[in-house]
Chain A
Amino acid sequence: MSSLLVIIDKAPYGHENALSGIYIAIASLDRGMDSDVLLMGDGVYAAQKNQSADKTIGYPSVSELIYSIFPNGTLFVHLDSLTQRGMKYEDLVEIAELIDGKTLHELSKSKKHIIKI
């Protein structure tokens, strides 16, 4: 079975990338791939809970959409990127899993495909 890691390093809404990256993850999961999403850099803002983009700026809420990868896919949040931005685990959506460098290295090595969007 093929596998995929989607790396998102842009903040949501300012760019379409976060949304589009999640769509790729959802599609590949629906097709039976072993896919996960990794939020790095400003991408970690996508895991901030209580976003309400639909009701405010009329964009699909990324924090809502990201639940669609659960339970088959995991939402990994890069620990260093998170702390650099003064954010805490409690600030994140429930499905978020923190990941450190060493674990990330193991994870990425286990993937057939890795795309940074």
Chain B
Amino acid sequence: MEMKELKFDIFEDGPLVKSVSITKIMPCMAEEGRVKLAMQLDSTLDQVMPIFAGKFPPGKVNYIPHKKILTLNTHERVISFFPSGRIMMMNTRDPEEGIKIITGFMEKINQCYLESESGDAGEDLSEKLSKIGPLNIYNCLPQTNCEECGTATCMAFSMKLLSGDSTLDQCKPLLKAENQNKVNSLKELLGDQLMKNLGWVGN
């Protein structure tokens, strides 16, 4: 169990987070040979958490607003971010892999920090995220099952949207004028910010 802290300096001049430490390495019995990593960032995340939570496909996010705890289902594992700057990463090959993955998130966190500082953070999506399901999205799609997006049905497509495996611009019919009302209802449901996150490029 005993180990001394492993500190990794990632972004020398990162506006918010610069380094991350691995505070504990535990066996992850869920999968043989994998480990569970406890990590600690060099800064708290209270301020950026709501924005950070909005940066991911809703289907991959589990956010507890009153605690500001973000749990992501990504990279074939569960990763939890805590406002104190603590991170728990399950099902990880080794510390190196963990750090590689976390570096990407630290970059995102720093971006979110800049946004929140410059005030153009946009709306707080954290409340919204939990409420949007595939059916809500499906209802706003053309529902023609045209397969132009490469997915058999519009229902399957809306699920892929939420999981981040498809983007809105792949739905060609949406760009047609006669479907403007669909686009509007989508915007109503998601808001511009999420529309952008889900890959909407039209207007």
> Residues on A close to B: CB < 8 A?
27, 30-31, 54, 58, 60, 64-65, 67-68, 70-71, 94-95
Contacts and interface: CB of A to CB of B under 8 A. Distances in A.
A71 B36 contact: no
A90 to B, nearest CB: 12
B38 A67 contact: yes
A71 B1 contact: no
Contacts of B2: 54, 58
Q: Which 9 pairs across A and B sit closest by C-beta, in order of nearness?
A: A30-B29, A60-B1, A94-B82, A71-B71, A30-B30, A67-B88, A71-B80, A64-B24, A70-B80
The binding surface of chain B is classed by DSSP as strand
B29 A71 contact: no
Nearest to A60: B1
5 contacts: A30-B28, A67-B88, A94-B67, A94-B82, A94-B86
Nearest to A58: B2
Contact of B83 (A64, A67, A94): A94
Nearest to A27: B29
B84 interface: yes
